[in-house]
Amino acid sequence: MSRFALIVAHELKLAFRQGGGASLALGFFVLAGALFPLGIGPEPGILSRIAAGVVFVTALLATMLSLERLFQGDFEDGSLDLLALSPLPLEAVVLAKCLANWLLAGLPLLFAAPLLALILHLRSDGLITLFAAMLLATPTLSLVGAIGAALTVGARRGGVLLSLLVLPLFIPVLIFAVAAVDAATQDLSARSALLALGGFLAAALPLAPWAAAGALRQALE
């Protein structure tokens, strides 16, 4: 098994043994999504208008919840030192952890999103685009969020601080993801919005691990 796969498998094993984590993000996603009809009223016309936005905003918040402990646990028990000293470059370690985080949190959200969209009365011709947009957006959220998680390792009030740092960086992904779904429900082409999302993912894949690794090295100094 390659070292990269070893770390991913290790993270997955830890998550399943420790419990919580992913199911927490999923639970929050569905619960917070369900709050909107309770707050705004069940009228299908209004709900279907905001469905795409609600799905992506809650997915964004749920992803952020799952990121809080991305590096903090390892930092506290000394594992982060050892990961930084492994033969695998720290950037690859970060990427492996992001992949594990996505498998544990992003992937369940990906499959729960169309369900949430349905109960929020999203027009059914938007569902496939919703799935595609979530598929492109959730890995980007994990990657960009990892930068925030790396910067706040060992900080006071790390969780709240993480939100403040990371939510502005999520905004472009949010805008284009919702735009894609809205275009699909209005029988317009979602292509340019999905391309933008793909572009964000392509940029985040090399750049986010690099920035996060830099931040982790600072934490270990």
Partner 1 sequence: MSLFEGRDLLCVRGERNVFARIGFALDDGQALVLRGSNGSGKSSLLRLMAGLLRPAKGTIDWDGESIERDTAANNRRLHYVGHLDAVKPSLSVSDNLAFWSALCRGQIKEDAVRRALARFGLAMLADIPARMLSAGQKRRLALARLIASPASLWLLDEPTIGLDADSIAVLRESINEHLGEGGLAVIAAHGELAIKGASDLDLDRAAALDVADVLQ
Partner 2 sequence: MHRFANPARFLRMSTAIFPWIAALTAICIGAGLYLALFASPPDYQQGESVRIMYVHVPAAWMALFVYTLIAVASGIALVWKHPLAHVAAKAASPIGACFTFIALVSGSLWGKPMWGTWWVWDARLTSVLILFFLYLGHMALMNAFEDSSRGERAAAILALVGFVNVPIIKFSVDWWNTLHQPASVMRLGGPTIDPAMLRPLLLMAVGFTAFFFTVLILRMRAELIARKIRIARMARVHGEPEWTRAAPGGAA
Query: Which spans of this chain sit near partner 1 (rule: CB under 8 A)?
Result: 1-3, 6-7, 10, 13-14, 17-18, 76-79, 81-82, 84-89, 220-221
- Which of partner 1, partner 2, none has residue 218 at its interface (CB below 5 to 8 Å by kind)? partner 2
| 83 contacts 212 by C-beta, under 8 angstroms | no
Residue given tokens 């957006």 in the structure block: 137
Q: Which of 147, 149, 190, 194 binds partner 2 (CB under 8 A)?
A: 147
Query: Rounded distance, CA 221 to CA 41, Å?
Result: 52
| 129 contacts 181 by C-beta, under 8 angstroms | yes
Query: Rounded distance, CA 148 to CA 157, Å?
Result: 13
Size, binding site for partner 2 by CB under 8 A:
28
| 13 contacts 1 by C-beta, under 8 angstroms | no
CB 221, min distance to partner 1, A: 5
Question: Looking at beta carbons only, is 26 or 215 nearer to partner 2?
Answer: 215
Task: Name the segment binding partner 2 (CB under 8 A); options: 9-17, 44-52, 135-143, 171-179.
Answer: 171-179
DSSP state of 69: T
Alpha helices per DSSP H over 44-154 = 44-67, 72-77, 79-84, 90-101, 107-119, 127-151
Residues 193-212 that bind partner 2 (CB under 8 A): 196, 200, 211
Residues that bind partner 2 (CB under 8 A): 147, 151-152, 154-158, 161, 164-165, 167-169, 171-172, 175-176, 179, 182, 196, 200, 211, 214-215, 218-219, 221
